[in-house]
Structure 1
């Protein structure tokens, strides 16, 4: 790996990235399975709001709005607080993943949802639905550029072996680098970004909702309900 790091270059990134996460299109009422009476739902909601500690309390309530904090938590903060094993992390630290386009984000997330979650669990039938939300997040940072290294180190974009990328991610995280940019392992000409520091991310804004549905041939993706957006 020493020859890889001795020839690395930097990419000065100042652009919006796409973040594609699990999220419902329409919020679900948490109490509708307890009673058929809407008045009972409202009473249960009121009790929850009265007894549940708040997640966000602004010191400047006229300036800061809670929904802005919610957007930040959903689009930026979550993977840094809830770590998991991924291409560039062995699970010991959080990594935020973004893509250059919505299409690239779809290829990346469909692969992990279908091939690494559903298929591994034995859920191979058609008709399984997953709803998602797409954010645009500004990135301003000097990132390690792995794109020129892929020809000599194809394991960077290996479909399933993360041995090398775990070593890369651990080294960059330990040494305090904000993140990296590389080619997508799931679609030609796509680019993905792995960020180790939330400070280079800002201004999250929702772009759209997506719905993934498994079919006999693969996965259908809708952006507008009932209108095909992509087929994988």
Structure 2
């Protein structure tokens, strides 16, 4: 089992990562409309009086301290959403109790990761013979300050098991508990490439929409196509 303390600490180096999000979920304007936590709290209280859908749109705000939200950056809502709208079933480095911002080192890496998980999800939906799914491509700038490097761990290690996340979640919980900002790790779905699992959006400096992509399902995902440049 990989111990967090054995992973090298990363320098405060600026990086660019890529992510795909389902385009049916629009960005949350309230995160983008304010410059700091105090402004957010004031605006939230006002809008909550007249907008009954606000809580659903923002997600579970109690899961992230306001001090960790990078108010004022381009695309703040994209940076914050994974931490307030979490998957209760968990993911590679989360048991479902907290959110993670997953990024690939290239757009193709992000596509390969999302394609795998979409394939797995829709294969379990009975009666679905054809559909199309549209995703926004996002480009994310961030610092690796406070993160750890797991890319030296061989792909044969249990944290890289393609289907069983039990050991990688143990590592993720340890990282979250000890205040680690994130993990750099090897992509399991795109050989030779790397990903990041950011455990806080604190060090994100921008998230910019880059393109739209369409995945076609017909018993399996048969194609992935770029359908717009912005």
One fold, TM greater than 0.5? yes
Match of 1:192 in 2: 195
Q: Is the 8 A contact 1:23 1:131 kept in 2?
A: yes
Match of 1:121 in 2: 125
Match of 2:7 in 1: 8
**TM-score of the superposed pair, with normalisation by structure 1:** 0.71
Query: How much has 1:209 moved relative to structure 2?
Result: 0.6
Higher share of residues assigned strand:
1
Query: How much has 1:189 moved relative to structure 2?
Result: 1.2
Match of 1:79 in 2: 82
Match of 1:156 in 2: 159
In the aligned structure 2, how far is the partner of 1:24 from the partner of 1:5? 37
Q: 1:97 pairs with 102, 115, 122, which one?
A: 102
Matched residue count: 185
Q: 2:116 pairs with 101, 111, 114, which one?
A: 111
Query: How much has 1:8 moved relative to structure 2?
Result: 1.4
Note the residue ranges of structure 2 that are not aligned, 5 or more in a row: 27-49, 55-71
Radius of gyration: which is bigger?
1
Query: How much has 1:122 moved relative to structure 2?
Result: 3.0
Q: Which moved more, 1:195-204 or 1:174-183?
A: 195-204
Q: Is the 8 A contact 1:150 1:156 kept in 2?
A: no
**TM-score of the superposed pair, with normalisation by structure 2:** 0.72
Q: CA RMSD in A?
A: 2.7
Superposed, 1:1-232 pairs within 5 Å as: 1=1, 4-12=3-11, 13-24=13-24, 52=51, 71-73=75-77, 75-84=78-87, 85-115=90-120, 117-122=121-126, 125=129, 127-142=130-145, 143-151=147-155, 154-215=157-218, 218-224=221-227
Match of 1:48 in 2: none
Query: How much has 1:196 moved relative to structure 2?
Result: 0.6
In the aligned structure 2, how far is the partner of 1:178 from the partner of 1:92? 16
Query: How much has 1:10 moved relative to structure 2?
Result: 2.3
Note the residue ranges of structure 1 that are not aligned, 5 or more in a row: 27-50, 56-67, 226-232
